[in-house]
Chains A and B, each alone.
Chain A
Amino acid sequence: MPIIRTSIIRRIQQDLRSRTRSAQEITEDYLSRLQAAEPEVQSFISVASESACAAARALDGRIASDGADSLGPLAAVPLGIKDTLCTAGLQTTAASRVLEGYTPSHDATSVARLKAAGGIIVGKCNCDAFAMGSTSESSAYKATRNPWDLERVPGGSSGGSAAAVAAGQCVATLGSDTGGSIRQPAHFCGVVGLKPTYGRVSRYGLIAYGSSLDCVGPLAGCVEDAALLLQTIAGRDQLDATSSHMPVPDFTQGLEEVERFASRPLEGKRIGIIRETIGEGVSPGVNAAFDRAAQHLATLGAEVHEVSLPTSGAGLPAYYVIAMSEASSNLSRYDGIRYGVRQEAANIRETYNTTRQEGLNAEVKRRILMGTYALSAGYYDAYYKRAQQVRTIVQQEMHKALLDFDALISPAAPTTAYKLGHVKDDPLEMYKGDIMTINVNLAGLPAISLPAGFEEGADGRRLPIGLQIIGKAFDEGEIIRIAHVFEQTADFACGTPPTFDKSKSQ
């Protein structure tokens, strides 16, 4: 019987409250595991051992003086933060050269909320520079490896966040998802990635890529831990005018232990398979694993039907036009004038040019160029405006489908993890990999990617495959419950990367 995924966060809270382990012991344990795995996996751009230990000592001090009752829900939970999220006093680069050495004075709201709940920030996770990529190879600092196969990428852009969880370097991480950047690496690394509804989590302090698409969300080893993180970071923020006033329900409500499940725990749920996301263009291994996952949902009592979203193919180009247009504007501020790296030159124009030429990588420049073009006079209507119209249609189609179904499902990506360097020089190939996830961002809906099985490689290695479950706007609770039931019952989807067995810590 494989190990059923259980909440590490709950375990830590029990240990702390029963004084089995101190916050410092937990933190040091994880820091040493982080350091041990780091040479191979390279998930982190920077490690914050000192501030993490100081925060842990402060927690232990509080337990000693005020008792354990005063602890927050994430007390002593070692967490990694994607480097696109600002952390006060910790270097934040978005994996770019132009922000090398930049230390913000402000915490992203999501980070501040994790800290307030007792979370311990152990470091900043690697990613594609400015979150632009699907492999984490465009980082200016390092290429993170997939813990399941060190010759493969962890996915991206939140590759470091996914790999760190898979390798047990920390309990959970924050990522950001503009077109799949949480869900695709979760799929590649065999972990849970949750992209909330647009507006559910404050974007304040998230280094903007495509502002109308960007979402901050958690990656964790199990659904419950992801839900606990979302619980902490969700909710209206005065600092983000686009954050929602919608009340935040208890996302862990109804996450029962497997022993207490009904015989058909998903009885009555209607689940739609998005027809356009299966079959052609999807690797056989992914197709097979997805079929099995869908069948499993049916055996759990759900009514599973195919549903067609005919415009979903139009989403990809529309997504790239919108994301790149917004990016071209959002990245204008990296001009070397006020912070970050400045390449001094003869005059202001040249200073701008040299700073950006050297500080921004090829992929980032490609997207800025394309976005600038799409917003230019004479092209705006044909590209940006048209893309917004397509977005509206995609949105309407998904919303309509979600009137008939409680959730929609698809593979989280068309293939398993790429070999290092495989799509690096082929941007179109890489962009196509986003086909499963981008429409969800265009529609602003919540979606979760969770381990659903494996593809057996020729070399005998297993590569994880993720199931994406898409829900109604602001109904993260529903997809979390479905995902939890799936996770707790799908023994075929369980597993740990061979070289980074986490069972020792559990």
Chain B
Amino acid sequence: MDSNTSASRLCCSAAPASVAAPPEVAYEAVIGIECHIQLNTRTKAFCSCLAGSAPVNTNVCPICLGHPGTLPVMSTGVLKKGITAGLALNCSIARLSKFDRKQYFYPDLPKGYQISQFDLPLCYEGSLEAQLPDGQTKHFGITRVHMEEDAGKLMHDGANQLSGSDSSLVDYNRAGVPLLEVVSEPDMRSGAEAAAYASELRRTMCFMGLTEGIMAQGHMRFDVNVSVRREGESKLGTKVEVKNMNSFAAMQRAIDFEISRQVALHRDGQAHEVVQETRLYDESTSQTFSMRSKEGLADYRYFPEPDLPPVRVTDELIDEVQGSMQESPAAVRSRYLDMDLPIADVLILTDEKPFSRYFDAVLEAGAPPKLAANWVLGDVMAHSKVNQISFDKLEMAPATLAELVCAIDEGLVSGKIGKQVLPMLLQGEGKNGVKSFMEQKRLIQISDMSAIEDIVNDVLSQNQQQLQQYCAGKTKLQGFFVGQVMKASKGLVNPKLLNQALNKKLKEASEAATA
């Protein structure tokens, strides 16, 4: 795929320091990513059971438990979401695809096979552009996107896996929940690139409304294939599959560890020690370890699923899906950049869908973009993080923040007062209008000239002695009058307007005294 950045090279100097330095031989890592995405459909893929979380083994029926004689029937929601994902990833959509059975025995797999798509996936040949940490962007190829069903969940007693456990229990609530598998081209060259791709993939799927995207709940599961080869070589090295990464930071660390592990083996003449295997990432040691080594290629004996007719996609269906697609993160980013927002702000605002949703709503309510961004990214974001409240659950409505931001922009409220009032708004106050709330709390700045003049008049008439001294030439007393007005207004008078009004009144008084 085309790339704006040259692939970062990994030479032996990047390998662990413990390895002695031989002559400079540069190695290149080749990384591909398979991602399983749990779709947020209401029901499971092939039966009418609900797909959401529920008490153990309550979202089940004879079909998703694989009872004798039961048959799968595809829900159309899955197909539409699959097409949406394909379009968002710039894929071609197959007008004719089919389901296949992937066969293996495991207690979480009720039928002894998983309904998946083998040689005719729903979507193929796409790409995804992601922002790299250095500010550059890179295109990553997408090989294919296909539909399949999830398995149940095993809970082990006495060990952390099936073998060796005293007993294991299966929860089939997840069995039959629809998944999309997105397979990338081997286009990543470092942990950072892989993490950038993976997080942009997640962002895209979330922005499209296809998944809840909660990593900790397994909504997105990444399997990363890592191999290394001498720079300039075209043949791929032996690939190792790395699993069990629960965050993008962990993915980056896992890959970088795995690259350096493989490079070190190559440099030590131990290249044969790099074997095709699955390795798990251990967060506590930041290392990968072998799960099952040197196992033969599993033979899943794929064959066409005879219970499901071929999947036909019409142009009308694609148009329908296209017409109801939501904005991609890339589109939102370019929209924000067009508002002259700084790139750093744009990246944060588009990092999670609820951020940009909230921000867009603030803009829609009339707030100026730059100031709105400052407030969203500043105190509001801090509040969200500290209290762990997602942006779509904030008590403060976007329109409320917009009103505050507009008031500041118009000079009705100082930034300082704004910061003072925001925590109250975040608690849900000011729902009936920020201005009236602030007036009620006596927080709003007085910018009405006639109101200010009234206060000035009051102050001057109450301090006749000082006024006479001022008129006699003791002009230093101006500061005294400012203080008195501020005191009388509890500091709410717009200082600039106060000076104007005071100058005017003092001038009038001086002129009257000399006349």
Chain A residues with CB under 8 Å of chain B are: 84-86, 92, 94, 99, 102, 104-106, 108, 203-208, 211-212, 238-242, 325-326, 328-329, 331-333, 335, 337-339, 347-348, 352, 372, 375-377, 380, 384
The 8 Å CB contact of B73, one of A106, A212, A240, A377, is A240
B70:A205 contact, CB within 8 angstroms: yes
Closest to A108 in B: B69
B73:A241 contact, CB within 8 angstroms: yes
A204:B69 contact, CB within 8 angstroms: yes
B309 at the interface (CB under 8 A from A): yes
A332:B73 contact, CB within 8 angstroms: no
Q: Indicate whether A384 sits within 8 Å of B70 (C-beta atoms), given known contacts A242-B309, A329-B112, A338-B110.
A: no
The 8 Å CB contact of A106, one of B67, B111, B307, is B67
Residues of B within 8 A of A384 (CB): 303
> How many whole Å from A442's CB to the nearest CB in chain B?
13
**Pairs A-B, 3 closest by C-beta atoms:** A332-B112, A211-B306, A375-B301
Residues of B within 8 A of A372 (CB): 301
B62:A105 contact, CB within 8 angstroms: yes
Q: Indicate whether A376 sits within 8 Å of B62 (C-beta atoms), given known contacts A99-B68, A207-B69, A241-B308.
A: no
Closest to A93 in B: B68
The 8 Å CB contact of B67, one of A211, A239, A339, is A339
B363 at the interface (CB under 8 A from A): no
A380:B303 contact, CB within 8 angstroms: yes
Since A335-B112, A339-B67 are in contact, a sample of 4 more A-B pairs with Cβ atoms closer than 8 Å, ordered by chain A residue number, is A86-B67, A241-B73, A242-B308, A352-B105
Q: Indicate whether A332 sits within 8 Å of B308 (C-beta atoms), given known contacts A337-B170, A376-B299.
A: no
Q: Quick one: which of A85, A238, A239, A384 has the most chain B CB within 10 A?
A: A239
A241:B66 contact, CB within 8 angstroms: no
A-B contact pairs, 11 of them (CB 8 A): A84-B69, A85-B69, A208-B68, A208-B307, A241-B72, A242-B309, A326-B306, A329-B113, A352-B105, A375-B303, A377-B299
> How many whole Å from B381's CB to the nearest CB in chain A?
48
**Interface magnitude class on chain B:** 20 to 34
B308:A377 contact, CB within 8 angstroms: no
Quick one: which of B138-156 are within 8 Å of A by CB?
Answer: none
CA distance A383 to B72 in the complex (A): 26
Quick one: which of B110-165 are within 8 Å of A by CB?
Answer: 110-113, 162-163
CB contacts between A and B, total, < 8 Å: 107
Residues of A within 8 A of B72 (CB): 241
B309-346 Cβ-contact flags toward A at 8 Å (1 or 0): 10000000000000000000000000000000000000
Closest to A107 in B: B69
Closest to B112 in A: A332
A241:B163 contact, CB within 8 angstroms: no
Residues of A within 8 A of B73 (CB): 238-241
B50 at the interface (CB under 8 A from A): no
CA distance A206 to B68 in the complex (A): 8
A206:B69 contact, CB within 8 angstroms: yes
B495 at the interface (CB under 8 A from A): no
> How many whole Å from A203's CB to the nearest CB in chain B?
6
B307:A348 contact, CB within 8 angstroms: no
Closest to A206 in B: B69
A94:B68 contact, CB within 8 angstroms: yes
B103 at the interface (CB under 8 A from A): yes
Residues of B within 8 A of A377 (CB): 297, 299, 301
Q: Indicate whether A329 sits within 8 Å of B103 (C-beta atoms), given known contacts A348-B162, A372-B301.
A: yes
B62-80 Cβ-contact flags toward A at 8 Å (1 or 0): 1001111111111000000
B101 at the interface (CB under 8 A from A): yes
CA distance A372 to B71 in the complex (A): 21
Quick one: which of B37-88 are within 8 Å of A by CB?
Answer: 62, 65-74
Residues of B within 8 A of A380 (CB): 301, 303
B68:A92 contact, CB within 8 angstroms: yes
Q: Indicate whether A241 sits within 8 Å of B309 (C-beta atoms), given known contacts A332-B105, A332-B112.
A: yes
Q: Quick one: which of B66, B68, B101, B105 has the most chain A CB within 10 A?
A: B68
B107 at the interface (CB under 8 A from A): yes
> How many whole Å from A34's CB to the nearest CB in chain B?
25
CA distance A301 to B62 in the complex (A): 52
A333:B71 contact, CB within 8 angstroms: no
Closest to B103 in A: A329
Residues of B within 8 A of A92 (CB): 68-69
CA distance A335 to B66 in the complex (A): 11
B163:A333 contact, CB within 8 angstroms: no
Residues of A within 8 A of B105 (CB): 332, 335, 352
> How many whole Å from A369's CB to the nearest CB in chain B?
13
Q: Quick one: which of B65, B67, B107, B113 has the most chain A CB within 10 A?
A: B67
Residues of B within 8 A of A85 (CB): 69
> How many whole Å from A196's CB to the nearest CB in chain B?
17
> How many whole Å from A467's CB to the nearest CB in chain B?
30
> How many whole Å from B300's CB to the nearest CB in chain A?
9
Residues of B within 8 A of A241 (CB): 71-74, 307-309
CA distance A99 to B69 in the complex (A): 12
Residues of A within 8 A of B70 (CB): 106, 204-205
Residues of B within 8 A of A208 (CB): 68-69, 307
A333:B62 contact, CB within 8 angstroms: no
CA distance A203 to B71 in the complex (A): 8
Residues of A within 8 A of B68 (CB): 86, 92, 94, 99, 102, 104, 207-208, 333
The 8 Å CB contact of B303, one of A94, A105, A329, A347, is A329
Residues of B within 8 A of A328 (CB): 301
CA distance A84 to B69 in the complex (A): 8
